[in-house]
Amino acid sequence: DAGITQSPRHKVTETGTPVTLRCHQTENHRYMYWYRQDPGHGLRLIHYSYGVKDTDKGEVSDGYSVSRSKTEDFLLTLESATSSQTSVYFCATSGGTGGETQYFGPGTRLLVL
């Protein structure tokens, strides 16, 4: 497995509070991605990064922001959590010798009450 960790693995928070999820990789992969996974929707891309400080929006970016200050870390922030952001969040990376293959972290289960 590529060395991808996510923290926290589980979080319960209240509506209106900010939440930050962290993705850490040890593979020196150039590209990093945040997805959310919901029943009936598969995985949907929230934001992605193509280098340090280079990020762009994905399919479902409203309400989310990201930052990448170094190669190994990609942070996803929910500025003001809403119940619709209750989901499982996955980080993924690509760009190593595996080319276009993406390597996934274990996921973070977020419940917004």
Q: Does 42 bind another protein (CB under 8 A)?
A: yes
- Residue selected from 33, 34, 64, 74 as contacting another protein according to rule CB under 8 A: 33
85 phi and psi angles, rounded to 5 deg: -95, 5
Residue 58 exposed, middle or buried by CB count within 10 Å (0-12, 13-18, 19+): middle
Q: CB nearer to another protein: give 45 or 75.
A: 45
The first and second tokens of residue 100, run together, are 């276009």
Q: Residue 31 contacts by C-beta under 8 Å, 6 or more apart in sequence? A: 48, 49, 50, 93, 94, 95
Q: CB nearer to another protein: give 41 or 82.
A: 41
The first and second tokens of residue 18, run together, are 């900010």
Give the x/- contact pattern for another protein in 4-23, rule: CB under 8 A. x-------------------
Q: CB nearer to another protein: give 43 or 111.
A: 43
Which residue ranges make up the site for another protein (CB under 8 A)? 4, 31, 33, 35, 40-45, 48, 50, 56, 58-59, 90, 92, 94-95, 98-107
